[in-house]
Structure 1
Amino acid sequence: MVCRLADGAADLATHHAIRRSVFVLEQGVFAESDHDSRDDHATTLHVVGFVDGLPGGVVRLFPLDPSNPAGEWQGDRLAVLPEFRSSGLGRPLVRFAVATAARLGGSRMIAHVQPANRTFFRRLGWVQRGAPELYVGIPHLPMDIDLVVAAS
Structure 2
Amino acid sequence: MLRIEEVCELPRDAVPASFRVKWADAGWEIAQARRLRRQVFCVEQGLFGGAAGAGDRDAVDAGAQTLVAVSELGGMPDRVVGTVRIHADHDGLWWGSRLAVEPACRPLGGLGAALIRLAVCSAHARGARLFLAHVQAPNRPLFEKLHWQALRPLQLHGTAHWLMQADLAHYPPCHDPISGWALRAARSSGGGGR
Q: Say which of 69, 80, 83 aligns to 1:49.
A: 69
Number of matched residues?
145
Offset, 1:83: 0.5
Q: Say which of 88, 94, 113 aligns to 1:91.
A: 113
Higher RCO (Cα < 8 Å, 6 or more apart): 2
1:38 is matched with 60
Is residue 2:92 matched to residue 1:74? Answer: no
Instruction: Supply the distance in 2 between the matched residues of 1:148 and 1:64 (Cα, whole angstroms).
Output: 20
Instruction: Supply the distance in 2 between the matched residues of 1:28 and 1:149 (Cα, whole angstroms).
Output: 34
Which portions of structure 1, spanning 4 or more consecutive aligned residues, are displaced by more than 2 angstroms?
51-54, 146-150
**Greater fraction helix:** 1
Instruction: Supply the distance in 1 between the matched residues of 2:169 and 2:126 (Cα, whole angstroms).
Output: 11
TM-score normalised per structure 1:
0.89
TM-score normalised per structure 2:
0.71
Structure 2: 5+ residue stretches without partners: 1-18, 174-194
Output the aligned Cα RMSD: 1.4
Q: Percent identity?
A: 35
1:143 is matched with 164
Structure whose alpha-carbon radius of gyration is higher: 2
What whole-Å deviation, never above 9, does each CA across 1:70-115 have from its counterpart, x for those lacking one? x110000000010110122111111110111011111111011111
2:20 is matched with 2
